[in-house]
């Protein structure tokens, strides 16, 4: 129904307008009597074989929603009813900020991809925390945190600590995002020395808590093997619980979308099918280098059950959807989970 009826209508709208349209109507519809049960009957799939325990948390299934979709923690209950095993909110910054000027989200249908330069548009960490305190579902929530655009890199750690503190009581794990290409100079924080300092400061606050939360790092797909080795050294030194691999890419290789259209779109992070192979390569490399000792959440180009299985076979403990969810619709989550159960029973 989604691909035949709803998707063609949504794709007539500007990409960001379509996003808000879906949000508004899912929120309204969910309040109607019987809708939560209907959504679960259509899209949820439960099976004991799907359960996973990763970095001390028990996930009812390994398919999550990546950060960037529900930035402000507005639809966590609704997304739980669509069958996700976990939802990562954000990227959340300490203070609210509007993000980059519009238009800033673009579809590349020929490549089943998106380009975005949203720029961490969000209502701030306190607003997200307030919403999470009101949620009813017990779905696992990740808090993806970043720095405000006007915060210099030298003061970035204070922003990450502030976001961490604001969300601590309302999320189950944290992801430090220094890999978005859409905040000026943010990726410079991926360099070894500044990243160690940043993560150490966040981890010091975390470890001082009575019950510390799992702390992960989200990395770019554009890193070299040497840089990935640095990331693993940093992860060990700062005692990270895991990695999220990968964020969007700044590369534009081998796309079917005409170069003139790409030029007119301009800068931004590319997600979707073109990212699938590189994201899997990064996951496989990290998994082999750590001999599976560091959990990885695999994300990038998952548009089918086969794509999800590829990430898991490469070494991911969990997977996340974003662009594939836009192009394939909510039934993708159920198809992946059904395929995982079917594969385990062979």
Consult the annotation and say whether 68 binds a ligand: yes
Residue 113 has pLDDT above 80, yes or no: yes
C-alpha pair distances (Å), 342 with each of 2, 107, 305, 339:
24, 33, 11, 5
Consult the annotation and say whether 106 binds a ligand: no
Q: What is the mean pLDDT of residues 287-307?
A: 98
175-185 in b/e form (b: 16+ CB < 10 A) is bbbbbbbbbee
Q: What is the pLDDT of residues 270-286, one digit of tens each?
A: 999 999 999 999 999 99
Q: What is the pLDDT of residues 143-195, one digit of tens each?
A: 999 999 999 999 999 999 999 999 999 999 999 999 999 898 989 999 899 99
Tally of residues, the chain: 346
Catalytic amino acids?
Answer: 180
Consult the annotation and say whether 248 binds a ligand: yes
Q: Find, among 245, 306, 312, 250, the residue nearest to 279 by Cα.
A: 245
DSSP collapsed to 3 states, the chain: CHHHHHHHHHCCCCHHHHHHHHHHHHHHHHCCCCHHHHHHHHHCCCCHHHCEEECCEEECCCEEECCCCCCCCCCHHHHHHCCCCEEEEEEECCCCECCCCCCCEEEEHHHCEEEECCCCCECCHHHHHHHHHHCCCCCEEEEEECCCCCCCHHHHHHHHHHHHHHHCCCCCEEEEECCCCCCCCHHHHHCHHHHHHHHHHHHHHHHCCCCCCCEEEEECCCCCHHHHHHHHHHHHHCCCCEEEECCCECCCCCCCCCHHHHHHHCCCEEEEHHHHHHHHHHHHHHHHHHCCCCCEEEECCCCCHHHHHHHHHHCCCEEEECHHHHHHCCHHHHHHHHHHHHHHCC
- At 345, the pLDDT band (50, 70, 90 cuts) reads confident
Burial class, 101, CB count within 10 angstroms (exposed 0-12 / middle 13-18 / buried 19+): exposed
The CA distance from 189 to 343, in Å, is 40
Q: What is the pLDDT of residues 14-42, one digit of tens each?
A: 999 999 999 999 999 999 999 999 999 99
- At 344, the pLDDT band (50, 70, 90 cuts) reads confident
- At 1, the pLDDT band (50, 70, 90 cuts) reads confident
- At 308, the pLDDT band (50, 70, 90 cuts) reads very high
Give the pTM: 0.97
Q: Find, among 289, 190, 169, the residue nearest to 246 by Cα.
A: 190
Q: Find, among 72, 64, 9, 141, the residue nearest to 322 by Cα.
A: 64
Q: What is the pLDDT of residues 227-259, one digit of tens each?
A: 999 999 999 999 999 999 999 999 999 999 999
Which pLDDT score, from 0 to 100, does residue 330 have? Answer: 96
Residue 109 has pLDDT above 80, yes or no: yes
Consult the annotation and say whether 272 binds a ligand: yes
Consult the annotation and say whether 247 binds a ligand: yes
Which pLDDT score, from 0 to 100, does residue 250 have? Answer: 97
């Amino acid at each position: 129904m989604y691909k035949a009826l709803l998707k063609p209508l949504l794709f007539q709208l500007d990409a960001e307008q379509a996003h808000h349209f879906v949000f508004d109507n899912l929120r309204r519809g969910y309040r109607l009597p019987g809708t939560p049960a209907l959504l679960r009957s259509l899209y949820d799939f439960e099976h004991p074989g799907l359960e996973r325990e990763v970095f001390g948390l028990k996930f009812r299934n390994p398919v999550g929603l990546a950060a960037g979709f529900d930035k402000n923690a507005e639809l966590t209950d609704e997304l739980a009813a669509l069958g996700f095993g976990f939802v990562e909110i954000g990227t959340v910054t300490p203070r609210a900020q509007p993000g980059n000027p519009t238009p800033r989200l673009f579809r590349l249908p020929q490549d089943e991809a998106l380009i975005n330069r949203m720029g961490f548009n969000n209502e701030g960490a306190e607003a997200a925390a307030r919403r999470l305190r009101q949620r009813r579902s017990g779905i696992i929530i990740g808090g993806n945190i970043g720095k405000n655009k006007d915060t210099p890199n030298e003061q970035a750690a204070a922003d990450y600590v502030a976001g961490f503190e604001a969300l601590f009581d309302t999320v189950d794990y944290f992801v430090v995002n220094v890999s978005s290409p859409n905040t000026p100079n943010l990726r410079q924080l991926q360099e070894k020395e500044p990243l160690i300092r940043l993560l150490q400061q966040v981890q010091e606050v975390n470890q001082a808590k009575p019950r510390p939360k799992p702390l992960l790092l989200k990395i770019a797909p554009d890193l070299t093997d040497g840089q990935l080795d640095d990331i693993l050294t940093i992860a060990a030194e700062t005692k990270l619980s895991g990695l999220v691999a990968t964020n969007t890419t700044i590369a534009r290789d081998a796309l079917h979308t005409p170069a003139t259209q790409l030029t007119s779109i301009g800068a931004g992070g590319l997600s979707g099918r073109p990212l699938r192979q590189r994201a899997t390569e990064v996951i496989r490399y990290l998994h082999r280098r750590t001999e599976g000792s560091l959990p990885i959440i695999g994300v990038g180009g998952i548009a089918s059950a086969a794509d999800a299985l590829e990430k898991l076979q490469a070494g991911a403990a969990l997977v996340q959807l974003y662009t594939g969810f836009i192009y394939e619709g909510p039934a993708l989550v159920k198809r992946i989970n059904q395929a995982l159960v079917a594969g385990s029973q062979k």
